Amino acid sequence: MSKIKTTEQIASASLYYAVYIALVILTIGTVGLSFCNLQNWHTIVGLIIATCKATLVALFFMHLLHSARITWLALFAGLFWLAILMSLTLTDYLSRSWLQY
Amino acid sequence: MATRNASVRWHHFDSLQHQQESTTLGMWVFLATEVLVFGAIFTGYTVYRVAYTPSFEAASRQLNLLIGGINTIVLLTSSLTMALSVQAAKSGQRRKLVRCLGLTALMGIAFLGLKAVEYYGDYRDKLVPGLSFDPVQWTAPDVHPSQVQLFLIFYYCLTGLHAVHLTIGIVIIAILAWMARRNVFSPHYYAPVEIWGLYWHFVDLIWIFLLPLLYLIGTRDRWL
Amino acid sequence: MSSVIAPYRPQSAPEPAPVSQLDVNYLNASYGVKSWLLTTDHKRIALLYLVSLSLMFIIGGLAATLIRLNLLTPTGSLVTADTYNKLFSAHGIIMVFFFLVPVVPSVLGNFCLPLMIGARDLAFPRLNLASWYVYMTGAALILWVIFSGGVDTGWTFYTPFSSKASHTDVVPALVAIVFAGFSSIFTGLNFIVSVHRLRAPGMTWFRLPLFVWSLYATSVIMLLATPVLAAVLILVGVERLWGIGIFDPALDGDPLLFQHLFWFYSHPAVYIMILPGMGIISEVITCFSRKNIFGYKFVAFASVGIAVLSFLVWAHHMFVAGQSAYSALIFSLLSYLVGVPSAIKVFNWTATLYKGSVTFHTPMLFALGFIGLFTFGGLTGLMLAALGLNVHVHDTYFVIAHFHFIMVGGMVMAYMAGLHYWWPKITGRLYPEMWGRVAAMIIFIGFILTFIPQFVLGYQGMVRRSHVYDPQFQVLNVLSTAGASILAVGYALPLTYLIYSLFRGKKAGPNPWSATGLEWQTPSPPPTHNFAVQPVVDCGPYEYSLQSAELGADVHGN
């Protein structure tokens, strides 16, 4: 049986507050950047910042950092399958104009 | 060991810890399925977004970023209090646990209240396809009213589904707070707080992605 | 009378408890309707599912009967076009969502999985019960929809017909299917956590029975695909209720988006249906050849491979729908790839049979039928994956014959094999072996007669989902309906003799097949907590070579 990591480490409250401050700063950042003229980069920048925030929430608030390997696998599986759904669907839509019947 | 805790161990687990690890894994597996529910709707949204970019950007600019932004902060704060609740449960601080759970639920309600205000504002601004929508308002070049409606439909589906999940979360957190008041949890047994904390953080995660994908896809020039 | 067969007993198995008239098992541990409707025992929940799923199968079969009766004449004189549309929709919806997807996981999986891994129950027993109630809610709703007018969209609910033009109760049907989906998500979640966290000491991953591997792979698919179905059906419901356009081309929507999202679930769904059946075949083939499975790891990894690859092929249902040619190319290639792990399994089962000590009990007959029919049907699947051929046979009876070969010739036969194989364990009774063999033969013959003509019909151009057809096709249609009547007799037989065996069948011992596996180390029927002492595992799941040599007669002394 695989070693199961237990959540004995009780994170201190100050870590949570620090993560929270970072999240708020990132939020202000992403909203502020939307007022700048980034043209086509808005989505990418927004998604990058959102991914950073999500990583912080997952690793620290959701204790992913101290979780068992299988937990990481479950989350990874969900994200990977979503990537399959999106990418293969988009291969249809993005290539429709390449060949005119 | 308090007798109350002894009765909650299920017969097919070796120990409370074994049970706790299993229920945590169960919740993570469930959250993976939720990634795909929202992800499917995101996929539909992405397909249309790629095809109808000008209309989608124009529609996005009309959303109420002030409320959207404030709601984001509200939800992040509720995630903080939820994390603090789990920590309080682990360290046996009953009063702090009740307080933090209560705050989490309250902030969830605040989110819903602000969302309702936002929806009403959208209705007033004629941004609700099928209910109140005026094609004449959308006359910019490359912007088509039917494509704008597609954006708005996805906006309501995504935020609506999110709100449903949040409501379920609020009810459960409230029940957990009530259970905590009755001293059900302890450092040995706090699995329900942990797993519904995971659920709550996940609802927050969805909103973290909804904000840029719905409100911030084009250059904004106004808050409302 | 039956001769004594030395029971299989690995060194570490606990002593089986003495069988006596006063033995308490899960069936008689408590009485009363409440003890069944509020049970958290996985074995009782499996029986609840068995009863409800059998009922759904009968209703779905009745719809098929009416379809085939209508197709006896080219003018479709039995029912109107509208009714015919509702009939094939009902048949498809019930059989796909309310029978094939849940049947093996929720009946045989629920019953056997904890026993096979040496656990006392699944990880979340109350969730297990909840999954049955959620299923029943969906089933009640869909039956209400069907009997109060039905839906005419087909089980595929293509837009914009389903979201705009259809005048039937589409939204309640969608809700019912979403409920059925949630039921399967709960079951899959339970299985995955159980396999990860509740295995007995010594039960490593590569000592798991292959049925467990297949259930695990099935659960992965259930968890990752079903949410997408829920999402897309909700979107269709929203479109229908609010009169807006998400998939409506008149409003700049794309009907193909619905199809992409729908088939992202529905193709993996067919693997949800077949994978547990393949797991059953691995169990039955090894037992009735008295041999270890050939290439255990290959079969185990093939299950996982099928689960992963099944998600990469969905658009082969849409080759002629309007997707881009390049996308079609990619999906065609990937569809060929997904045939490989299935073929590996067929090779390995065949190699297991080779030089085995084969006996032809009922489960084995069904299993051998599966191998033949599934292989044949699978080959026609490869034919369909070819773009050129697909254009010719899409929406014809060729496709119908293909998937019925897999689903009925494959999956239902595998279910029959498993039901007969584990029947002594579940009920503590032996079914009448002669009748079992007769039923297997009748089902096999009836099946072939029903569906081989449909391949020919499809290739000749008979279109599906139409209550009338060109008169040139009548002979083959009559043949197919005749076969269906034989098939019906074949299915009625097990219904009869299995129920009969509950009252008059010979009592079964703990291991009537002398099979390996932890489920056979406990009495038949098992006690509520499965094992008196937690078993410890020290060998692989199919170590028939360890068994003593006294294997001559079978349990019936034949």
Cis peptide before B141 (omega within 30 of 0): no
Checking if the pLDDT of B58 tops 70, the result is yes
Domain membership of residue B209 (yes or no) is yes
- Beta-ladder partners of B133: B127
CB atoms within 10 A of CB C54: 18
In the prediction, which pLDDT does B130 show? 84
Q: Highest-confidence range of A92-101, B7-16, C121-130, by mean pLDDT?
A: C121-130
Contacts of B163 (CB under 8 A, 6+ apart): B112, B115
Averaged pLDDT for residues C245-263: 93
Q: List chain C residues with CB under 8 Å of A84.
A: 311-312
DSSP collapsed to 3 states, C287-319: HHHCCCCCCHHHHHHHHHHHHHHHHHCHHHHCC
Domain around B179: 35-215
pLDDT of the residue at C24: 86
Residues B218 and B184: beta-carbon distance below 8 Å: no
**What are the chain C neighbours of B150 within 8 Å (beta carbons)?**
245-246, 251-253
Interchain proximity B25–C198, CB inside 8 Å: no
Q: C441 — contact with chain B (CB < 8 Å)? A: no
Model confidence at C138: pLDDT above 60: yes
Per-residue model confidence (pLDDT) at position A30: 94
How many other CB atoms sit within 10 Å of the CB of residue C545? 8
CB pairs under 8 A between B and C: 104
User: Is 80 exceeded by the pLDDT of residue C121?
Assistant: yes
From B221's Cα to the closest Cα of chain C, the distance in A is: 27
Mean pLDDT value of segment B104-112: 97
In eight-state DSSP terms, residue C77 is -
Are A99 and C326 in contact (CB < 8 Å)? Answer: yes
Assign B119 a pLDDT band (cuts: 50, 70, 90).
very high
- pLDDT of the residue at B47: 94
Q: Tokens for C236? A: 């269709």
Q: In this model, does residue B12 exceed pLDDT 60?
A: yes
Calculate mean pLDDT across residues C438-461.
97
Over residues C211-232, mean pLDDT: 97
Beta strand pairing call for B127-128 and B132-133: antiparallel
**Residue C285's pLDDT is what?**
97
Residue B76 pLDDT > 80: yes
Q: Is the minimum CB–CB distance between C256 and chain A shorter than 8 Å? A: yes
More confident residue, B15 or C469: C469
Checking if the pLDDT of C16 tops 70, the result is no
- Mean of all residue pLDDT scores within chain C: 92
The reply to whether C255 touches chain B by the CB within 8 Å rule is no
Pick from C288, C280, C283: which is nearest to C359 by CA? C288
Q: Are A60 and C239 in contact (CB under 8 A)?
A: no
Question: How confident is the model at residue C244, as a pLDDT?
Answer: 84
Q: What is the average per-residue pLDDT within C146-170?
A: 93
Residue A63 — left, alpha, or beta (φ > 0 → left; ψ -120 to 50 → alpha)?
left
Mean per-residue pLDDT, A19-35: 95
Chain A residues 12-71 with a CB less than 8 Å from chain B: 13, 16-17, 19-20, 23-24, 27, 30-31, 33-39, 42-43, 46-47, 49-50, 53-54, 57-58, 60-62, 67-68, 70-71
Q: Residue C547's pLDDT is what? A: 59
- List Cβ neighbours of C492 (8 Å cut-off, separation of 6 or more): none
- Which residues on chain B are in Cβ contact (under 8 Å) with A56? none
Report if residue B16 sits inside a domain: no
List the single best residue of A42, A62, A63 to mutate versus B (max B Cβ within 10 A). Answer: A62
The nearest alpha carbon in chain C to B39 belongs to C228
Q: Does residue C2 surpass a pLDDT of 50?
A: no
Give the per-residue pLDDT at B4: 44
Reported as a pLDDT band with limits 50, 70 and 90, residue C23 is confident
Q: Pick C193's closest partner by Cβ from B29, B36, B48.
A: B29
Asked if C426 and C111 touch (Cβ cutoff 8 Å), the reply is: yes
Does any domain span residue B6? no
CATH of the domain at B54: 1.20.120.80
Q: List the chains bordering chain B where 3 or more Cβ pairs fall under 8 Å.
A: A, C
pLDDT tier at A2 (50, 70, 90 boundaries)?
A: very low
- What is the predicted pLDDT for the residue at C552? 35
**Chain C: touching chains (3 or more CB pairs < 8 Å):** A, B
H helical segments located in B52-183: 53-61, 65-90, 94-124, 145-181
Rg of chain B over Cα atoms, rounded to whole angstroms, equals 21
Report DSSP letters for C374-443, one per residue.
HHHHHHHHHHHHSHHHHHHHTTBHHHHHHHHIIIIIIIIHHHHHHHHHHHHHHHSB---HHHHHHHHHHH
Mean pLDDT score, C65-75? 96
**Tokens 């003018």 — which residue?**
C75
Residues of A in contact with B36 (CB under 8 A): 78, 81-82, 85
Look at residue B83 and tell me if it is in a domain. yes
Q: Do C252 and B34 touch (CB under 8 A)?
A: no
Question: Is the CB of A86 less than 8 angstroms away from the CB of B39?
Answer: yes
What span, in angstroms and rounded, lies between the C-alpha atoms of C433 and C426?
A: 16
Whether the CB of C113 is below 8 Å from some CB of chain B: the reply is: no
Cα-based distances in Å from C145 to C90, C102, C149:
9, 20, 6
Of C532, C526, C509, residue with least CA distance to C19 = C509
Collapsed DSSP state (helix, strand, coil) of residue C283: helix
d(CA C530, CA B39): 40
Q: Is the predicted pLDDT of residue C4 greater than 70, yes or no?
A: no
Query: Is residue B137 in some structural domain?
Result: yes
Question: Residue A9: pLDDT band by 50, 70, 90 thresholds?
Answer: low
- State whether B208 and A34 contact (CB < 8 Å): no
Whether residue B180 contacts residue A29, with contact meaning beta carbons closer than 8 Å, is answered with no
Q: For chain B, how many structural domains are there in total?
A: 1
Provide the shortest C-alpha distance from residue C314 to chain A (in Å): 10
B222 touching C (Cβ < 8 Å) = no
Within 8 A by CB and 6+ apart from C126, the residues are C40
Q: How confident is the model at residue A101 (pLDDT cuts 50, 70, 90)?
A: low
Name the nearest CA neighbour of C223 among C191, C188, C177, C258: C188
What residues form DSSP beta bridges with B132? B128
The mean pLDDT value for C130-149 works out to 97
Return the HEC string of C434-486: HHHHHHHHHHHHHHHHHHHHHHHHHHHCCECCCCCCCHHHHHHHHHHHHHHHH
Q: What does the DSSP 8-state code read for residue C553?
A: S
**Per-residue model confidence as pLDDT tens digits over C171-185:** 999 999 999 999 999
Q: What is the pLDDT of residues C310-343, one digit of tens each?
A: 999 999 999 999 899 899 999 999 999 999 999 9
Domains of chain C: 39-545 (1.20.210.10)
Q: How confident is the model at residue B131 (pLDDT cuts 50, 70, 90)?
A: confident
pLDDT band of A100, cuts 50, 70, 90? low
B128 three-class SS: strand
pLDDT at B14: 84
State the Cα–Cα distance between residues B68 and B204, nearest whole angstrom: 13
For testing contact with chain C, the best of B28, B33, B127 (most C CBs within 10 A) = B33
Q: What is the SS3 assignment for B10-58?
A: CCCCCCHHHHHHHHHHHHHHHHHHHHHHHHHHHHHHHHHHHHCHHHHHH
For residue B3, pLDDT over 70 is answered with: no
Segments making up each domain of chain A, as ranges: 12-66, 68-101
pTM: 0.92
pLDDT confidence bin for C551, thresholds 50/70/90? very low
List of chain B residues whose C-beta atoms are within 8 Å of the C-beta of residue C238: 153, 157
Question: What ipTM describes this predicted complex?
Answer: 0.92
Q: Residue with structure tokens 């010594």? A: C202
- Give C92-115 pLDDT, tens digit per residue: 999 999 999 999 999 999 999 999
Q: Does residue A8 have a pLDDT over 70? A: no
Check pLDDT > 50 for residue B6: no
- Helices C433-460 and C362-385: angle between axes, nearest 10 degrees: 10
**Does residue B25 sit within a domain?**
no
pLDDT digits (tens, 9 = 90+) for B190-205: 999 999 999 999 999 9
Q: Flag whether B74 is in a domain.
A: yes
